[in-house]
Structure 1
Amino acid sequence: MPDPRTPRRDAQANRESILVAARTALTRDPNASIDLIARTAGLSRRALYGHFEDRSALITELIRTGAQRFNTIAERPLDDDARIALAQLASRLWHEVAHIQTVTAIALDDAHVADTAAALAPLRQVVTDIVERGRRADALRTDIPGDVLARLIEETARMVVRVDAVGPDAAATAVRTVLSVAGLSWREADAVLTAHPEIGPEVAE
């Protein structure tokens, strides 16, 4: 007998199709209505409300599932050198964001940033650890407290996403900006990217 706690397969498929449709619709129009999202999913508005009570709940779920992807990226091995580790992490996250940039910008707006911050707690801890390691090695700036520096790096990454930079050098620009806030001069940031050309371009996993 099926476990009553396990969602029916078709219900789970509908839920996934709603999330995919929401990403598609919001990428085209950040103000996409719940009706448009339902139509994009090939479902009625009533069917959508069977999974999400309102548009805000749907956005919250998009944030949660997106955060899972970012947290998984943060679990991947990073260089022992904090400068290189920060560049690697910034680049990897940028390439993930580039695929869903509009939805990511919505997740980072003032209405949702608190939920996003909570969902990204594992990633934020990785950034904090990199900052502390870099400060101990005198590789990252020590003129301001470590928790403040980690927050500034986070806010800078948020700003870069909202700027909506595009083009082949967009990832490198994001990395340079983060490294600059972390205390590197533009020449030092350039040296990191020159020594590690794999950091900027998107590479196949």
Structure 2
Amino acid sequence: VFNQAEQHIDQETLILTLFLLHERSKGIKSFWYPHIQVLPTTFSTPLFHKENYVESTSVYYLTETMRQSMSEVCDLINPKTFTLEDFLWAYTIIDSRGFKLTDFGTTLIPLADFANHVSFAQEASLCSKGVDKQTNRFILKTTDKKIQAGDELCLKYNNELANWQLLLYYGFAIENNPFDSILLEIKMDPNDTYEMEMKKNAFTKFKYVE
């Protein structure tokens, strides 16, 4: 199943998704019950609210592709204890709240996953220091930014994320996002190498592609 599903979802994410579903099914008997209880039950991502997004946009198309992929993975697993919607919930938890750590791969870290996103590191009130190899503990430290009582605690999630990426994976967008970009699909005749080269040069010149 894992080999067949790999074209749709990486093994780490799939294993964690299934583990989370299994632990949730155990209810109060699960060691992770307190953490699972405070996880969101719904999301604002397009995967759950496709009807709110305009057809023919990149986010709409990518959402369609993702949902179809997850549906195929679910069919491969042939679950008896959870539905496709349950699977999408667990997948979104892992995908939107997981930390990718060098020595541990994708990891869910209770409490650390409650921090929200900022575009620039200097705006963050928290920063990840990874895992201390001596204590085997994840280190999350405050930055030099002054924190007042009641302030929101924020991390810089990832590299420079465009709004379509933030929307697709996290369910929000940032006004005046300095890293914003759009996806353009340009049809080209593969037999016309001159046309392909001209269009590529034009987009590169105006920094539409790298």
**Would the TM-score normalized by the shorter structure come out above 0.5?**
no
TM-score, scaled relative to structure 1:
0.29
Larger Rg: 2
Where is the helix percentage greater, Structure 1 or Structure 2? Answer: 1
